[in-house]
Structure 1
């Protein structure tokens, strides 16, 4: 039976943890309990505990850090730019209060860095890249200074690892340029190593209560930033010891499963997630359940998408939700509703999130071929045999438009690649690349990267380098920044 964290008696935590280095940075029993509730997404309970701490010990600067954690996770779950703009004014006051406290505590610089880093991560979701760059630069400097002062304080590594991976993986552009101006440089592999070591060592140390926070960031890094093939086994391993009462655990596991073709497991986790008034409303989980259900062509996913739209208070993932509802109509051969939902994609929500940008692109593109849509969804869910059957029931000449011809080759390549049929995959990737390299679609550039990956695995580094460079040379296509960054990471791996 996996050890459940966040279940140690609070008195034991206080005896073991070096939280009380200063009376005014007092991570006492009440603060530990508030912190625990934040990371189970029981934000209202945490607020009550923080208010009690503020009344009993108003000079305790840990209060300001905990309040920022509450706002951070509230904003992550509501996805509301309006709420973000309302709450961001509190950042300066919290930093001012902390800056007046005990400079000899390891939490003095750490707390200031955490607050800056949390606001940077939220800001980046709304395109405020210059302000986010300044905050990352500030957090990076504070953590490095704290590491020099307190080299045995392991929590410094959490933020430094996150910064290393995020900055190291940024594509060329405004934010990377701004950070370079500030002198902040990242190293993806160093950051991954830092977070991995922390994930392994914390459970064996007196800092164990910070474990779930480390895994939350590590899960994001592995799945979204590094796009690591180790994301699924590592995240499922590290989250196993977190309490099942944590809604954040549900999110981390379900998202990881959904991103890595473990569709049935994602559905099971989301359907059995902890519920009740104690938990922060998290509409995104309804959206995610809709996505994974539709990946198995279960048209009842519409119920989950409708639930998301009813509960959602923000603007992110709205366009993508309407696109999925349009696909459901198309799978029902209801072209009237398909068209109506595409109009909602164009006129609802915002385009901050990459998913929403792509949804808008697809709403303005020709109607997808039904066979290719089914294959795409099944592939995303990890139903590789079903996806291959859908594709092989058709022939290349069945697809009339250039886009469909490219996508047919690309989908065949992806399925064969994941089935371990590398030679067949290379044949179809090359076809997609040759037909699509003059088009605006992402298939050609992505095919080049994936061919590079196969040749890298085969140790044919000359061909790997050539295809990574081909991917970089293609411009003005969908997902250009992220695909170019994947290619550059490939070149870096092989010393190209």
Structure 2
């Protein structure tokens, strides 16, 4: 994340050194005349904080519990309890635990509220807890409540920044919110303004970078947020890509970083490389159960065309997993493993499960529902098998295999406008990823032309890629036009992700 804080005024040199010394100290304490609660970063609690980031939740909870009786007035403990709960809920998607643990939000906020008003940690930790629950509530489909948590967290952080401008940890969370708010599409921007929320992607990234450089304790968390934002909303720089590859080697016991490296490399179309980090991911009793890793193994094997192995991993994921996201998508992938392997009878078992299982909160599950409905209504023909094979191969970075598949067909091989649009988009994407962007342009433009009639998703995706190609050519007006066009397509399954990327690109261009 890139964060620039125009409001930040450096303190005099002596005072700044004193502040930094306090931030770097092993034990952080807050003192007041009638203080009942402190924020004390004891060695065990510090270790627990970093073990949570490694997904060593059982071990982290043991460390926290060991300090609980001796540190009854330490506000860092309810914060760590909440931090651990967030990681558990996001990974497990345990609805029963979510219902029970959500009852602990207010008591933890109240415990931290016992800190004196002159403590910079009071509002900071309260905002952190509200952000934790915002992410959890959004994950579990409680959008309204989750959104209010974000608004409350934002107000607390802004107030903390004004009261304690030299307290740099505030920027870790405020920077994240500034990026997220700055990424809101224009047609929703009025909501943020009414609520008093201000966001700017570059300012937010700069704020995160300040924390990375000057607050060692929160450096790793800030850097992780920074990389995540660039991977999923902006674009990773060569330096960040290198960091992504080195990080798991530096922390071989960090499951979260291995997972992060795996998913980002898969997103970047480097599944063979991602498979290495996935295979090296640590496990054991000290770590939280993480069945989603089986899903990722299924994805890589599907991309490679290893359909039997992929099916085994998807089935194992569904067997171990108690959550609600990716259920529909996994059944779709099991359908694909059999259908693409010309085992139509077995495939039909899984396509029929999609409607009645799982949730449709995330884009992958929504897409699975749409494909299932179209297949069962006869709208998806056997001719599309080659398009799906090419799509998965391209997604994984297996470009030679994808190119060979697409060279065997032409636009006239397909009957519907949507199939023709997808053919052109796939051809363009393979060429672009193969380092031939100029050759991809006619195919993307053809997909855009076809998308005027239908196939909005492929039109929007083509416009987005044409925007990136224009940026590489230093054609700023052309890039702006294409990014705006990408956002103009309505009601398609990729709208949220494409709009977010286009919005971020336009913001970087000063639009």
Q: Settle same-fold status: TM greater than 0.5.
A: yes
Q: Which whole-Å CA distance do the structure 1 matches of 2:56 and 2:471 have between them? A: 46
Aligned mates of 1:317, 1:232 — CA distance in 2: 28
- Structure 2: how far apart are the matches of 1:271 and 1:63? 34
Instruction: Say how many residue pairs are matched.
Output: 478
Residue number among 99, 122, 126 corresponding to 1:112 in the alignment: 126
> Alignment partner for residue 211 of structure 2, among 175, 198, 202?
198
User: Partner residue of 2:157?
Assistant: 143
2:27–2:42 Cα contact (<8 Å) kept: no
| C-alpha displacement of 1:64 | 0.5
Q: Distance in 1 between matches of 2:191 and 2:446?
A: 39
Q: Specify the alignment match of 1:318 in structure 2.
A: 327
SS in 2 for 1:394: coil
- CA 1:250/1:462 → structure 2, altered by over 3 Å: closer, same or farther? closer
Q: Secondary structure at the match of 1:88?
A: helix
Q: CA separation in 1, counterparts of 2:78 and 2:291?
A: 27
Q: Greater RCO between the two (CA within 8 Å, min separation 6)?
A: 2
| Distance (Å, rounded) in 2 between the aligned partners of 1:91 and 1:380 | 40
Q: Match for residue 432 of structure 1?
A: 447
C-alpha separation in 2, matches of 1:435 and 1:31 = 58
Shift of 1:264: 1.1
Could you tell me how far apart the structure 2 residues matched to 1:268 and 1:282 are? 17
What is aligned with 2:116? 102
Q: Which residue of 2 aligns with 1:125?
A: 139
CA-CA distance at 1:38 after TM superposition: 1.3
State whether structure 2 residue 172 is matched by structure 1 residue 158.
yes
Kept after mapping to 2: 8 A contact 1:452/1:463: yes
In structure 1, the residue matched to 2:394 is: 379
Instruction: Provide the secondary structure at the position in 2 that maps to 1:186.
Output: coil
State the partner residue of 2:264. 256
Aligned mates of 2:355, 2:239 — CA distance in 1: 33
Q: Any conservation in 1 of the 2:78–2:112 contact (CA below 8 Å)?
A: yes
Counterpart Cα distance in 1 of 2:145 and 2:191: 10
Distance 1:485 1:217, change over 3 A: closer
Classify the secondary structure of the residue corresponding to 2:129.
helix
Partner of 2:351: 342
Residue 59 (structure 1) aligns with = 73
Greater Cα offset, 363-372 or 15-24: 15-24
Structure 1 stretches lacking a partner, 5+ long: 1-12
Q: Pairwise mapping of residues 8-47 of structure 1 onto structure 2 (< 5 A)?
A: 16-17=25-26, 19-22=28-31, 24-47=38-61
- The verdict on how the C-alpha distance between 1:494 and 1:59 changes in structure 2, with shifts beyond 3 A counting, is closer
Q: Distance in 1 between matches of 2:114 and 2:75?
A: 9
1:296-445 matched pairs, under 5 angstroms: 296-299=304-307, 300-365=309-374, 366-367=379-380, 369-445=384-460
Q: CA deviation at 1:75?
A: 0.3
Counterpart Cα distance in 1 of 2:336 and 2:287: 32
- Residues 1:475 and 2:467 aligned together: no
How far, CA to CA, are the matches of 1:307 and 1:156 in structure 2? 42
- The answer for the alignment partner of 1:4 in structure 2 is none
More displaced, 155-164 or 80-89? 80-89
- Bigger mean CA deviation after superposition, 301-310 or 59-68: 301-310
Q: What is the TM-score with the length of structure 1 in the denominator? A: 0.90
State the 1:489 CA deviation: 3.7
| Offset at residue 311 of structure 1 (A) | 1.3
SS at match of 2:428: helix
User: Aligned equivalents of 1:137 and 1:186: distance in 2?
Assistant: 12
8 Å CA contact retained: 2:176, 2:225: yes
Q: Distance in 1 between matches of 2:24 and 2:437?
A: 56
For residues 431 and 492 of structure 2, the distance between their equivalents in structure 1, rounded to whole angstroms, comes to 24
Q: 1:403: how far off?
A: 2.1
Find out whether 1:459 has 2:474 as its counterpart. Answer: yes
Q: CA deviation at 1:413?
A: 0.5
Q: Distance in 2 between matches of 1:164 and 1:433?
A: 33
